[in-house]
Amino acid sequence: MKLTALDNKLRQLAKSLNGVITKDDTKGMLVPSGYEERSISWNKNGFNYMVQVFPEIKKDSIQKWIFWACCFYDTDNNRFWRKKTLVESRQQEKLISDFDKLFSEAVDFLEKLTIEDLEFAVRFKN
């Protein structure tokens, strides 16, 4: 089973959240055969959200899969953020079968965050 099994579901979720889907954005990295990644990002009330599924790579091969979510907020010079890893290492088929529950848990976590919950991440250069 491939992550493409999630594509229709991700399109529906992106539409409902006014979000955007990205996939396989390796930015020129050398990645092992079979590499897949899926992200959905959206913004709401000034916060930026992202949920991502990507492989755990060890010794140039994909071992298991990771599912995490993050929220970030930018000011003129600073970024604040918070992340939560919902799955640290899971077989792809199990991750796909658990996707609805995981995504719902991720959105619940993200959209309950307030500015006070976010931590300083980086200062932007002027």
Burial of 28: CB neighbours in 10 Å, binned 0-12, 13-18, 19+ = exposed
Burial of 72: CB neighbours in 10 Å, binned 0-12, 13-18, 19+ = middle
Give the per-residue pLDDT at 70.
94
Please compute the mean of the pLDDT values over residues 80-103 and round it to a whole number.
Answer: 88
The reported pTM is 0.78
Residue 103 token pair: 């995504």
Work out the number of other CB atoms within 10 angstroms of the CB of residue 51: 27
Residue 92's nearest CA partner among 59, 57, 55 is 55
Question: Hey, is 29 helix, strand or coil?
Answer: coil
Give the per-residue pLDDT at 2.
65
Residue 112 scores a pLDDT above 90: yes
DSSP single-letter state for residue 125: P
Q: Return d(Cα 88, Cα 111) in angstroms, integer.
A: 21
Q: Return d(Cα 99, Cα 92) in angstroms, integer.
A: 10
| H and E: helices and strands count for the chain | 3, 6
| pLDDT single digits (tens) 32-85 | 555 667 888 899 988 999 998 887 777 776 777 888 999 999 988 999 999 999
Residue 89 token pair: 């290492």
